[in-house]
Structure 1
Amino acid sequence: MTTDDLAPLVKSLDLPAKVRLLTGASTFTLAAEPSIGLSAMNFSDGPTGVRGLKFSGGRVVSLFPNATLLASAWDVDSAYEVGRLLAEEAMAQEIHVVLGPTINLHRTPLGGRLFEAYSEDPLLTGRLAAAYVRGLQDAGVAACLKHLVANESETDRNTVDSVVDEKTLRELYLLPFEMATDAWAIMGAYNDVNGVAATEQHHVINEVIKDDWGYTGLVMSDWFATKTAAPAANGGLDLVMPGPNGPWGDALVAAVQAGEVDEAVIDDHVSRLLLLAKRVGALGAPRVWPSSLPLPDSAVRREQLTRLAASGITVLKNDGDVLPLDRAGSVALIGRHALETIDMGGGSAQVNPPYQISVATGLGDLARLTVVDGVEVRTRPVPARDGFLTDPVTGEAGIRIVLYDAAGNELEQRFSAQAKTMIGMDDDFSGTVTSAVLSGVVAGSSSTEVELGAMGVGDWKISAASFDLSYSLRTSGSGFGEEVLTPPLRTDRFTVPAGTLFTATVTLTSDMGLFGLIARSASRETVDVIDEAVRAAAGADVAVVVVGLTEEQETESVDKSTLQLPGAQDALVEAVAGAARHTVVVVNAATPVLMPWLSRVDAVIWAGLPGQEGGHAIAAALLGDIEPAGRLVTTFPAADEASPAWSVTPVDGKLVYSEGTFIGYRGHFAGKAPAPAFWLGHGLGYGKWEYTDVRLVTGDAPAVTATVTNVGSHPSREVVQVYLRPTEPDEPTRLVGWTAVTVAPGEAARVVVETDPRLWRRWNPTTNTWSRLADGGEFLVARGLGDIRAVVS
């Protein structure tokens, strides 16, 4: 079906009815129109889980590995599988549209939201995104590509003007969208692009996407991103989210009546909306949803999520083949991330999982395992987790929340396993919340020193044992959505008996926000923690230190300022490496970190944010049960500021993409930044490889053939990468293709790597057309650009 086929339905509606359909009916739903057989549609945030219709405290759903970890498999089939599994998660909740994948590029390693996006490379991003989209949509669930476009950082994200030349825009930042235009929806970004709001981008949306590419899908706004009526409607935006209020409605009706917007433009928007509805089963006969799908904690999900995470884990260093670990040896497992493994980033990508497996739990069946906590890794404590508080009514790990209106009437009482709740955006009861009581019982068996406190905008009264405090928490005014994404908090130290009831009453001073209770053991002195770690390391055959970032650094709305590990984690690794016979470091982070201790440890694996089965996946990788055959999707700089693009801070409101097409490995390889610590594509796996008989097959899109032999002692998956080094001096070396193959020890395989013709073209800003790169460039056949195995031309 095309939009033309839907013209009679559109024509049957009057103007106010058409416009009503073009703004959400609620935070995550679209309105029905029974007169034309249109049912309501449900949207859900993605891309590493289908959260449902609530921002917080909603249904328990599966938490998938994050996008960079999934992408590290360099596996189109795996990306397709993820799409199919997410479609199952969506169908279980009657969700029509999943808001993902995120396909912005890793322009600078400081970007706070990079964990949601695949890679710094447009070809890798585009191929994986297209497969993910197919996986979702083959099941009749729409994918929504985001965020269009030049949305690579979070600083001042609602006001920043990304200044990007047309060549860079076309060749880099639009290419993944172009490759994945089978997606039934695209989401516009918050930022401006070259002085024009992303939601009003006539050039990008109308001229490039809808006209040049012939895109028939729907273009929606990010939540609260649309500021205007006529400019956004004329600029190609089809749908404003969320609703029911927004800048369209009566204002857009008036704009049409005043001649500012042609009604044919409105008809096109409605036609695209109806086509989306038809595709997802919301137009015509009601959709029949599957009645039996795997539960988030089912055995089938556990296997899938463990395998997907472990397959993307990347071996960065493995001197002396210390990995895989010897199960019979003694292991000292050290680090806060070993006990509280970070499985997801912050912001709208968060979901409510059934559990989160720590590395300590994953390795818990080792007979000779000693577990030692590490140094503090946060500056902001998080809502209570891992059973530190229990519900005073049911005894379950979590808290009790009671919501009241202005008259003191109870509106709702709920249990929250996450020790937090959203108020004012997800409310599905009558009445307005003006106050709430949150309570939990401090677990344990004896008196202990604890940190207790609250999170959320309002006036608080805190009570625990004999302690009573009152204080007010307010936003800093530093950015849009702070009350939801980075709400204010406060904690205080108390010594309380186990079983103490901790109660917090809040009077709301904002109509929306995230609220919760914070409870944890009081922090120990760093020197004492490191001394304990050193003693454990000295007594073990191998010390495994788990370090990383948290959702303070890897989150929506905030960028990083450094690639250094937070707290004293570097000092912890140094001390352990000085005492241990062998030291393995696990990096629990989605994006690059600095490793000043790299030369003094035996092995390093990068584990990303591995999802609810994270601890099991990391254990499987360390023990060799599943080969960690990942390859990096982002170049790891050797130092702060040592990357082709670095700053995320706008100057006079503008963030200039002055590096052009030389981002990431492209800029490093051209000498525009120092040599990195690790190149895109780097990853050792557990095999060892020889490349022979490398040949070039010429044609419109040349191919490269090679024989790869596994000369190691483990079965292994190799990713053969081909990069093109053009003859033109102003053109960067770029990835043009890859092929993966699994080979047994001592065996060989012949592989063919076909190059993508879209990487053989260049945009001519003078003629505003594509032209082909000159023939005669060199092909680099590599295991990442730091390990080039052959050059052919």
Structure 2
Amino acid sequence: MARTGTPRDGDEAREAVVEAALRRLDLDAKARLLAGQDMWSLPALPEIGLGSLVMSDGPIGVRGVRWTADDPSVALPSPTALAAAWDPELARRAGLLLAQEARRKGVHVLLAPTVNLHRSPLGGRHFEAYSEDPYLTGVIGTGYVRGVQEGGVGTTVKHFVANDAETDRFTVNNLVPARALRELYLAPFEAIVADARPWGVMTAYNSVNGTTMTEHHHLVGDVLRGEWGFDGVNVSDWTAARDTVAAIEGGLDLAMPGPRAVYGDALARAVREGRVAEAVVDAAVRRVLRLAARVGILAGAEPAVTEPPAPVDGEALAREIARRSFVLVRNERAALPLRPGGTVALIGAAARDARVLGGGSATVFPAHTVSPLDGLTAALPEGTLRYAVGADPATELGAAEQGFRLRAVCRDRDGRVIGTRSAPSGHVQWMGSDLPDGVTHDTLHTVELTGTLTPRESGPHTFGVKGIGAFTLTVGGTTYYDGEQRPRKDDPFITFFGAPQPRAEVELTAGQPVEVSLTHVVRLPDDLPMKVVSFTLAHAGPRHDPDDLIAEAAEAARAADTAVVVVATTERVESEGYDRTDLRLPGRQDDLVRAVAAANPHTVVVVNSGSPVELPWCEEVAAVLLTWFPGQEGGAALADVLTGAHEPGGRLPTTWGALADAPVTRVVPTEGELPYAEGVFIGYSAWERAGRVPSYPFGHGLGYTDWAYESLTVDGRTARVRIRNTGTRPGRETVQLYVSPGEGDVERPARRLAGFASVEAGPGESAEVTVDLPRRAFEVWDEAADAWTFVKGSYDITAGRSIADHGLTAAINV
């Protein structure tokens, strides 16, 4: 394992270099270092041998400083998928791969992982976080951070804290009781700081109990740095820093992005005017220099990792994580694995055009994706697979991709071409200085996306535009739109996450190329905190009668031994920037599943979503397999699992149930405030407290073999569980330990996850796991004392396969 030294490891030599470098900087240089020089990087300071520190979004890949499909990245499964594997070592290996990707792209710090909680199932960005449970979140996040930093790349654990929904996230004041804040929302951050020593934390846009997080001295200074001993950098979420003095005194080190930030010249001026002590600035600069030293860009300081770890095969690891994450929640009549030699009807638009990741800043662009159709075509004997579209979940236009060949042409005000760049999709997003060679913001006047579309279907094709400003859309030599699109909402990110506007419908013939052009007049106000050129050429193929498509799918299912239906959410359902209004699958997908199930009793439904959706037909089908957003190799992993080459390894990291039954749902503030009125009862603890039964409980997941739980013994806080594989295949089991408190003065969850471990065993073999139960499982936050209190008394320790499985129980006194 690579060495990961920190000052707490006694690396006094690195700290000495940091202090020497700090003494050589004047006030202006120090203030400049604390503000981004552009969208993704800090300025270099050659006078002290400091290189430019580069940051990049994650968490499923490393995008780098260019937001384009022309600069591909490995795309791993969604964080919900990684958590569903219940394996911190797998998370660590994912981190090692991402560090490798970061080094390849010249990135020093990954803006990940996201460890906010699934407080309400309506959270639109939950695919980017791990779980509803703080313990599981902390354990998986610890593995991830360890892996990235063992690769010599920094992490920023985010979003600190209580950024658990997207509605009004820039301004919302989340009112979180102290006990809930400590026991739930701060808990994953605390665990990761203690066990992985992250080199960075990102503070959120929102306020907590009246104070915006970029100025929250109590949570950042007193708790994060004081109680927990965090010695890394605190960076703002992008544009979250609002006030120079309040931010620096609140503990914010880096205000991103730049160059227009509340630090830099404004911070130096505040010091000279006596509004900020220079020692406060020095403390922030010291932490930034420490980070630079750790990642190896401060001259004279040995980096924390001197030799990178062994190379990781990105495609192989993406495929392994995917199949280990798939959760088989239902498998009647042994519908899975598929019977050898049988015929299969594969159904669903998402089976052909895979949804491998969620929307928003987590987006990366893989060099290739393996769809379910690709994976099963390669895995099944020729002639045994038939495909039907069935029902398309997309209700809006998508970025121009399939059949398009495009490039971006930049022109100045005189119409002269000043630069070009390839455009593998119809999405242009140039942030900060990321512009084509030879182009500057001062000279850029228009960007034209131009090229051809070769349709794969004949009929009326719809073209549209996503973005703000003036656009001209031309198809086949005819101009269909020449006008200006204005923002519909006061949200600076609407240009990234808003819906495209349909602007043309054109009759096209399959296989016959047509010229397409979208020209955008670039107007960037001088007062923007960051300069972004962002717009999208959008497209949708011919729309077919959904009833006809469903009938065709049912007929294909009737003629096959097994029907596999792939249903999915869309970017308009799960994305950064907005929350969900319901948990229904978009379009006519529920109708599709019911029609196929009526035609074929051996119907398997593959659910391609990053977080829970309602499955109203689940009792009507033979099997249900949850595949999350499975990353670039998702189709290959799906073939592995459906054919039985590998068993599905996942267990639910979040409760799945109907929205009407969910105990905690509110994500919309009232007059700017969102009360966390449920206190410490979210997720499975809220379901149990309300006496409601979900569709599938937290921790649930089936494999291709059976297990018997034979014994549980507890010695002090160490539990030992023996289980036996009673099936006919080798398998892997995740043993879960829950703590149930006895009667007491403080109301607590009826059960709380306190530990888990995975084992592998062949048919008839037994295995034993040992799990140490953490002290925190027996503690509560005492609001009156403002401290943790160990609650003595009797507890039941339960070992089982989910929160609802009470197979083995041992009583203890602590």
Shorter chain as denominator, the TM-score bin is over 0.9
Displacement after TM superposition at 1:421 (Å): 1.1
Residue range with higher mean Cα deviation, 41-50 or 52-61? 52-61
Task: Supply the distance in 1 between the matched residues of 2:265 and 2:206 (Cα, whole angstroms).
Answer: 25
Secondary structure of 1:647's aligned partner: coil
2:65 alignment partner in structure 1: 53
> Residues 208 and 291 from structure 1, CA distance in 2 versus in 1: closer, same or farther, beyond 3 angstroms?
closer
The AA in structure 1 aligned to 2:471 is: W
Task: Supply the distance in 2 between the matched residues of 1:286 and 1:611 (Cα, whole angstroms).
Answer: 37
Identify the match of residue 654 of structure 1 among 656, 667, 673.
673
Contact 1:306 1:614 in 2 (8 A): yes
1:508 alignment partner in structure 2: 522
The AA in structure 1 aligned to 2:171 is: T
Displacement after TM superposition at 1:505 (Å): 2.1
1:741 alignment partner in structure 2: 759
Output one character per residue of 1:722-778: Cα deviation in whole Å (capped at 9) or x when no partner.
111112350112100001101111211122222122222211111111111223111
2:687 alignment partner in structure 1: 668
Task: Supply the distance in 2 between the matched residues of 1:457 and 1:406 (Cα, whole angstroms).
Answer: 19
Contact 1:458 1:506 in 2 (8 A): yes
Q: Are residue 613 (structure 1) and residue 617 (structure 2) matched?
A: no
> Residues 183 and 58 from structure 1, CA distance in 2 versus in 1: closer, same or farther, beyond 3 angstroms?
farther
> Residues 480 and 446 from structure 1, CA distance in 2 versus in 1: closer, same or farther, beyond 3 angstroms?
closer
Task: Supply the distance in 1 between the matched residues of 2:255 and 2:506 (Cα, whole angstroms).
Answer: 47
- After superposition, residues 582-731 of structure 1 pair within 5 angstroms as 582-637=602-657, 639-670=658-689, 672=690, 674-698=692-716, 702-727=717-742, 728=744, 730-731=747-748
Residue range with higher mean Cα deviation, 553-562 or 754-763? 754-763
Task: Supply the distance in 2 between the matched residues of 1:48 and 1:424 (Cα, whole angstroms).
Answer: 20
1:176 alignment partner in structure 2: 188
> Residues 717 and 293 from structure 1, CA distance in 2 versus in 1: closer, same or farther, beyond 3 angstroms?
closer
Q: Are residue 165 (structure 1) and residue 183 (structure 2) matched?
A: no
The AA in structure 1 aligned to 2:616 is: P
The AA in structure 1 aligned to 2:359 is: G
- After superposition, residues 376-525 of structure 1 pair within 5 angstroms as 376-386=392-402, 388-390=403-405, 399-423=406-430, 425=432, 426-427=434-435, 429-430=439-440, 431-444=442-455, 447-465=458-476, 467-470=478-481, 471-486=483-498, 488-497=500-509, 498-510=512-524, 512-525=532-545
Task: Supply the distance in 2 between the matched residues of 1:763 and 1:577 (Cα, whole angstroms).
Answer: 50
The AA in structure 1 aligned to 2:246 is: P
Contact 1:491 1:518 in 2 (8 A): no
Residue range with higher mean Cα deviation, 241-250 or 469-478? 469-478
1:393 alignment partner in structure 2: none
Unaligned runs of 5+ in 2: 1-10, 526-531
Secondary structure of 2:661's aligned partner: coil
Output one character per residue of 1:512-539: Cα deviation in whole Å (capped at 9) or x when no partner.
3422222332111110110101100110
Task: Supply the distance in 2 between the matched residues of 1:478 and 1:783 (Cα, whole angstroms).
Answer: 46
The AA in structure 1 aligned to 2:144 is: Y
2:528 alignment partner in structure 1: none
2:8 alignment partner in structure 1: none
Contact 2:82 2:325 in 1 (8 A): yes
Contact 1:25 1:242 in 2 (8 A): yes
Residue range with higher mean Cα deviation, 745-754 or 512-521? 512-521
Displacement after TM superposition at 1:57 (Å): 4.4
Identify the match of residue 261 of structure 2 among 227, 230, 246.
246
Contact 1:629 1:686 in 2 (8 A): no
Contact 1:101 1:146 in 2 (8 A): yes
Task: Supply the distance in 1 between the matched residues of 2:632 and 2:466 (Cα, whole angstroms).
Answer: 24
Identify the match of residue 540 of structure 1 among 542, 546, 560.
560
Contact 1:473 1:488 in 2 (8 A): no
Task: Supply the distance in 1 between the matched residues of 2:228 and 2:280 (Cα, whole angstroms).
Answer: 18
The AA in structure 2 aligned to 1:276 is: L
Secondary structure of 1:696's aligned partner: strand
Identify the match of residue 373 of structure 1 among 359, 384, 389.
389
The AA in structure 2 aligned to 1:421 is: V
Task: Supply the distance in 2 between the matched residues of 1:466 and 1:93 (Cα, whole angstroms).
Answer: 40
Output one character per residue of 1:285-313: Cα deviation in whole Å (capped at 9) or x when no partner.
59999999999xx9x32222111111111
Task: Supply the distance in 1 between the matched residues of 2:310 and 2:731 (Cα, whole angstroms).
Answer: 30
Contact 2:161 2:204 in 1 (8 A): yes
Contact 2:293 2:302 in 1 (8 A): no
> Alignment RMSD, CA only?
2.0
Displacement after TM superposition at 1:14 (Å): 1.6
Secondary structure of 1:379's aligned partner: coil
Residue range with higher mean Cα deviation, 402-411 or 625-634? 402-411
The AA in structure 1 aligned to 2:701 is: G
Secondary structure of 2:686's aligned partner: helix
Contact 1:720 1:783 in 2 (8 A): yes
Task: Supply the distance in 2 between the matched residues of 1:342 and 1:516 (Cα, whole angstroms).
Answer: 18
Task: Supply the distance in 2 between the matched residues of 1:632 and 1:344 (Cα, whole angstroms).
Answer: 18
Q: Are residue 202 (structure 1) and residue 217 (structure 2) matched?
A: yes
Displacement after TM superposition at 1:324 (Å): 0.7
Displacement after TM superposition at 1:673 (Å): 5.7
> Residues 316 and 447 from structure 1, CA distance in 2 versus in 1: closer, same or farther, beyond 3 angstroms?
closer
> Residues 276 and 673 from structure 1, CA distance in 2 versus in 1: closer, same or farther, beyond 3 angstroms?
farther
> Residues 290 and 605 from structure 1, CA distance in 2 versus in 1: closer, same or farther, beyond 3 angstroms?
farther
Displacement after TM superposition at 1:581 (Å): 3.3
Q: Are residue 313 (structure 1) and residue 326 (structure 2) matched?
A: yes
Output one character per residue of 1:631-668: Cα deviation in whole Å (capped at 9) or x when no partner.
0100012x214223201100111111111111100111
Q: Are residue 561 (structure 1) and residue 581 (structure 2) matched?
A: yes
Task: Supply the distance in 2 between the matched residues of 1:41 and 1:287 (Cα, whole angstroms).
Answer: 16
Contact 1:711 1:745 in 2 (8 A): yes
Task: Supply the distance in 2 between the matched residues of 1:448 and 1:60 (Cα, whole angstroms).
Answer: 32
Secondary structure of 1:187's aligned partner: strand
Contact 1:400 1:439 in 2 (8 A): yes
Contact 1:60 1:354 in 2 (8 A): yes
Residue range with higher mean Cα deviation, 486-495 or 160-169? 486-495
The AA in structure 2 aligned to 1:456 is: G
- After superposition, residues 57-456 of structure 1 pair within 5 angstroms as 57=69, 59-181=71-193, 182-285=197-300, 300-365=313-378, 366=380, 367=382, 368-386=384-402, 388-390=403-405, 399-423=406-430, 425=432, 426-427=434-435, 429-430=439-440, 431-444=442-455, 447-456=458-467
Contact 1:475 1:488 in 2 (8 A): no
Contact 2:371 2:634 in 1 (8 A): yes
- Structure 1-normalised TM-score? 0.95
> Residues 14 and 445 from structure 1, CA distance in 2 versus in 1: closer, same or farther, beyond 3 angstroms?
closer
Residue range with higher mean Cα deviation, 282-291 or 214-223? 282-291
Contact 1:738 1:754 in 2 (8 A): no
> Residues 22 and 389 from structure 1, CA distance in 2 versus in 1: closer, same or farther, beyond 3 angstroms?
same
Question: What is the number of residues matched between the two proteins?
Answer: 776
> Residues 506 and 287 from structure 1, CA distance in 2 versus in 1: closer, same or farther, beyond 3 angstroms?
farther
Secondary structure of 1:788's aligned partner: coil
Task: Supply the distance in 2 between the matched residues of 1:578 and 1:240 (Cα, whole angstroms).
Answer: 57
Displacement after TM superposition at 1:405 (Å): 2.2
Secondary structure of 2:107's aligned partner: coil
Secondary structure of 2:142's aligned partner: helix
Contact 1:484 1:513 in 2 (8 A): no
Output one character per residue of 1:30-70: Cα deviation in whole Å (capped at 9) or x when no partner.
11111222111111101100000123345211111110001
Task: Supply the distance in 2 between the matched residues of 1:287 and 1:336 (Cα, whole angstroms).
Answer: 52
Displacement after TM superposition at 1:424 (Å): 5.3
Task: Supply the distance in 2 between the matched residues of 1:631 and 1:507 (Cα, whole angstroms).
Answer: 49
